[in-house]
Amino acid sequence: MIADNRRMRAHTDWPLILLVAGLSLFGVIAVCVATYTPDSTAESLLAHIIESDSAMRQCFFLLLAPVIVTVMMNLPYHLFKRYPVPIYILATGMVAFTWLSNRAEGVKAWTDLIWGLTIQPSEFIKLAMILVLARDLSREDRPLSTPREFWMLMLRIAIPAVIILASGETGSLIVIIFFCAVMMFFSNVNMRLIFTLIIIAVLLVIALYAGMIALDIDDYRLRRILAFFNPELSPLDDAYQMNQSKMTIGSGGFSGIGIFQDGAMSQLNYVPADWTDFIFATIGEAWGFIGCSIIILVYFAIVLRMLYLARYTTDKFGMLVIIGVMGMLLFHIFENIGMTLGLMPITGIPLPFLSYGGSNMTTNMGGIGLVLNVTRNRSLAGTYSAPQLNPTARLRYQRES
């Protein structure tokens, strides 16, 4: 009982902070290595970072990270519980505005800012979805038990999902579907309902791509799927990125070829976008199997740490927020590393804390801030959520507090 009480205390979780900070700092180095050019004259790591425009921007994003985490961690806990819908509406509106205002062909998920930077609102909708789902699923011990609850939740998911799909952002949509299913599982939703929803989602995706094939629609998302299942039969361009990524990772061997090596595949741009979505290929070449294994172990530690924090969070809303952030990061990790190894289709999903990009870094750090907010306000959670806890959990929390 004493051990459980200690684990449930409000605190700032430094193990999670240190894991994320270490990974993010390494991400700057990885981006710098990926953007190294043959005409570089830099002689030190700092000089290489200053020389790389992308690495300097990643440093800028990293300097913003503590601000984002601190703000999210210190906002009043009850505001997230009481007002997730306005956050959801704002994020959905940003996604819709980007889609309608973007005149580019293909993917319409980015809006231009300044300094050559862009913003990707579909990243921010993930946190908004986590908050609104956590509130809806924490209201009852057995949520979605009535048709009205079920269809209201489906509507909340469907509105941004349709806009994101129309924008060409299939990857973000898959991430949302995944962490929604994970949150439903941990919220005590009937398993039959979860399996039914998964089957329906799979059938809709199959129907979408089958329709594209039948109508002979030339879509890059369809070509990527076909290239994954039939890389030998697909056109070279469709399977090029996946094949080059596997070759680059394989060239690193057990311990890697080292960083800033002339003639390296990352230096010669053998893998397109090797500083963003395919940053893991750069890591595999430079640091080899050992480096890749360490990165995977750090990710594993982050996921386990979040599961541990969720396990000892008695407030159901807070527990589901942690689970939602964990599910979001977990799918990003699994899908990104899988696609660089040729084990998953290419979906354009970045690797958390390592891939270059401000929107994804902001979302991930905001998610970490939400998790830390929950752990810091455990003593207040009972005040705001006691009626929503099941009787056993509420009694245990009150007794141990």
- Measure the CA–CA gap between 23 and 33, rounded to whole angstroms: 15
Give per-residue pLDDT as tens, 208-246: 667 666 655 555 565 666 666 666 555 555 577 888 888
Give per-residue pLDDT as tens, 299-308: 999 999 999 9
DSSP string, 39-82: T----SHHHHHHH-HHHHHHHHHHHHHHHHHHHHHHS-HHHHHH
Q: How far is CA 18 from the centre of its chain?
A: 19
Give the Å distances, CA to CA, from 118 to 66, 166, 167, 357.
Answer: 21, 19, 15, 9
3-class DSSP state of 111 = strand
Total domains in the chain come to 1
pLDDT band, very low/low/confident/very high, at 68 (cuts 50, 70, 90): very high
Domain that holds residue 242: 2-400
- What is the pTM assigned to this prediction? 0.86
3-class DSSP state of 225 = helix
Residue pair 282/248 in contact (Cβ under 8 Å)? The answer is yes
Give per-residue pLDDT as tens, 352-399: 999 998 889 999 999 999 999 999 987 665 444 433 444 444 444 444
The pLDDT score that the predictor gives to residue 132 is 94
- Measure the CA–CA gap between 24 and 354, rounded to whole angstroms: 6
